[in-house]
């Protein structure tokens, strides 16, 4: 990567609702580090579902240099940013883990702390990864770490709607909501229909 073609500014898109608002604490920590090192950066806060996608497109439309954009949220925020970055080959997407699952950070980015992730973005130590494409009901979308259907998609959708997710995140056990709903969906329907296991 040629350093002269790299935008010096880091762009952060913060989902303030991610991880029971844990994302705001993570952003505050990141901002302190960035300010102490005088790293040029801009921050944007999402206001609704789909806002990260729109912000990503707006930012990337304004530059033709390689542009580092970092999600401060969970996998949903990363997914929106990936979909917003389609068609902009100069986009570089990363994340500060602030959601309940953080599969992208754990499985692809492989950073364990805010400091490590910020170093990765500042040192330009990232590499290209493949993006998957899907089509459903005539609509095309893209994904980076996983695509689910059937019971997997049903569990994810129910977890996102569940008021229990906030509680699981509060006790720092956000990943367990998915297991809880999986077990509930496997065993509860059988009991409703009087089926013995």
What's the confidence (pLDDT) of residue 2? 43
Two structure tokens written together for 128: 């290209």
Note the pTM of the prediction, 2 decimals. Answer: 0.75
The three-state secondary structure class of 125 is coil
Domain layout of the chain by residue ranges: 3-143, 151-192
What's the confidence (pLDDT) of residue 1? 42
Q: What is the pLDDT of residues 42-60, one digit of tens each?
A: 999 999 999 999 999 999 9
Q: What is the C-alpha R_g of the chain?
A: 18
| Strand (E) or helix (H) holding 177 | helix 176-192
CATH for the 3-143 domain, from 3.40.50.2300, 1.10.3720.10, 1.10.1380.10, 3.40.50.10330: 3.40.50.10330
Q: How far apart are CA 48 and CA 106, in angstroms?
A: 25
When pLDDT is averaged across residues 9-37 and rounded to a whole number, the result is 90
Q: Nearest CA to 110 among 99, 128, 126?
A: 126
């Amino acid at each position: 990567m040629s350093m002269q073609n790299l935008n010096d500014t880091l762009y952060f898109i913060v989902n303030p609702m991610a991880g029971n608002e844990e994302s705001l604490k993570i952003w505050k920590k990141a901002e302190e580090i960035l300010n102490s090192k005088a790293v040029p950066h801009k921050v944007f806060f999402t206001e609704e579902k789909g806002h990260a996608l729109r912000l990503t497109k707006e930012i990337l439309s304004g530059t033709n240099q390689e542009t580092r954009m970092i999600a401060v949220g969970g996998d949903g925020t990363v997914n929106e940013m990936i979909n917003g970055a389609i068609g902009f080959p100069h986009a570089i997407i990363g994340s500060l883990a602030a959601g309940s699952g953080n599969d992208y950070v754990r499985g692809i980015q492989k950073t364990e702390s805010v400091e490590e992730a910020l170093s990765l973005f500042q040192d330009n130590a990232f590499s290209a990864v493949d993006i998957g494409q899907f089509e459903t009901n005539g609509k095309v979308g893209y994904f980076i770490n996983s695509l689910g259907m059937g019971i997997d998609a049903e569990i994810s959708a129910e977890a996102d709607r569940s008021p229990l997710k906030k509680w699981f995140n509060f006790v720092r056990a956000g990943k367990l909501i998915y297991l809880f709903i999986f077990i509930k969906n496997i065993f509860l329907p059988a009991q409703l229909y009087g089926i013995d296991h």
